[in-house]
Copies of this chain bind each other. A is one copy, B any other.
Amino acid sequence: MPGQVTVLKEITQANSTLADALRTDFARQRVLVLDVIASPGAGKTTLLERTIELLRDDLRIAVIEGDPATSLDAERVAAAGVPAVQINTGGGCHLEARMVQSALGQFDAANLDVIVIENVGNLLCPTGWDLGEDAKIVVASLPEGDDKPLKYPMSFVSAHAVVINKIDLEPYIPAKVAKLRANALAINPDVTVFEVSCTSGQGLDAWVQWIRERVAQKRAG
């Protein structure tokens, strides 16, 4: 329907303009911004909790949590010891730059090293909305199946890193870590793939090292 397309284009253009302005701010403030995208229940918040535990002594981190309802996730992240702002979209299926801008009022971004934005649990809609981030991270939960990059290619195409989570469950399910990795790389040959278990801690060192290196690059400007 042409009317819908026109209006949607106006909205996404306004979003892109604001996201560019945020990106300029983040560059000046030398704060690394990550947009974490995944299906509901892929383990985004648990990955954040583990990541914060491993980095909070060295890096100043803040989190913006997007959810359709509840402040459960922001409470969990705040309990891990970093500032967290919850955005409730009221059913909305993705975060937009204006929501991030509004949440930023709660932080002094110039005194942060990393802002992690946990997007709404949705492997489709968040992909098209620039939030001014440096990198999009897709968390792919192994129990969801190893075919997800093929069936939901958009988020994998735009990802800078894919974190395969819940690898400790591999013995109990049909999905295979190696196949999920291969399918992610088939869709996006340049993506960096991590294999982790937030339960056992396996693989988290490589993931947080990647963040440390990105922070160092951002500081170097």
Chain A residues near B (Cβ < 8 Å): 1, 3-4, 7-8, 10-11, 39-42, 67-70, 72-73, 91-93, 120-125, 127, 141, 143-145, 147-148, 150-154, 166, 168-169, 172-174, 199
Task: Check A11–B4 contact: CB distance below 8 A.
Answer: yes
Residue contact A41 to B153, C-beta cutoff 8 Å: no
Residue of B nearest to A143 (CB): B143
Chain B residues whose CB sits within 8 angstroms of the CB of A8 once the complex forms: 4
Chain B residue with minimal CB distance to A90? B154
* B7 pairs with A11, CB closer than 8 A: no
CB atoms of A68 and B152 under 8 A apart? yes
Residues in chain B near residue A169, CB distance under 8 A: 143, 169, 172-173
Among B70, B120, B153, B174, which residue has its beta carbon within 8 angstroms of that of A68?
B153
Known contacts A40-B151, A69-B152, A153-B68: A93-B93 contact under CB 8 Å: yes
Q: Which residue of B lies closest to A42 (CB)?
A: B144
Q: Is the CB of B11 within 8 A of A147?
A: no
Would A4 and B1 be within 8 Å (CB), given that A152-B40, A153-B68, A172-B172 are in contact?
A: no
